[in-house]
Amino acid sequence: MTSPGFEKPTDPARSALMRRVRQTGTKAEDEVAAILRQSGLRFRRNVKSLPGSPDFANKTNQWAIFVHGCFWHRHEGCPRTTTPTRNRDFWLAKFAANVNRDTIKARLLRAMGFKVLTIWECETRNPSNVRRRLQRLR
């Protein structure tokens, strides 16, 4: 049994895996980019001048898209939304901060008059559903 406040060290293999997780240019983002191009929607990627640096945005037509990983951003009801058993308190706090930050950034964009759309990583498996959701931006 460990003493209170002491967490087991993280497994080096797990640490190496987590370091390889990309923040931009993910497969899900590339799939959404391809669908946007096919739909004729013009966009910029990772727009740093907007709150939350949306993955895709069009300032002229005032829309922004976030492509969220189900694990990191806690897609409710998705089987990919697991919680590591080691350092559980750390992970729960991290996930809560991610969700809170996502909510704040989307709220700020909406206050600026933007339509905000969140596309989940698991949704990119079905391009026709993504295309249908993108119709809201027109």
What does the pLDDT look like over 114-125, one tens digit per residue? 999 999 999 999
What range defines the domain where residue 57 resides? Answer: 22-137
The answer to whether position 14 is within a domain reads no
The answer to whether position 102 is within a domain reads yes
Chain center to CA of 116: 13
Read off the pTM.
Answer: 0.81
The answer to whether position 107 is within a domain reads yes
The answer to whether position 36 is within a domain reads yes
Rounded to whole angstroms, how far apart are CA atoms 31 and 124? Answer: 7
Rounded to whole angstroms, how far apart are CA atoms 61 and 76? Answer: 29
Strands 44-45, 56-58: parallel, antiparallel or unpaired by DSSP? antiparallel
- What's the total number of domains in the chain? 1
E-state strands within the chain: 44-45, 56-58, 63-68, 115-120
The answer to whether position 8 is within a domain reads no
Name the band, by pLDDT with cuts 50, 70 and 90, for residue 137: confident
CATH at residue 109: 3.40.960.10
Task: Please indicate whether residue 19 or residue 98 has the higher confidence score (pLDDT).
Answer: 98
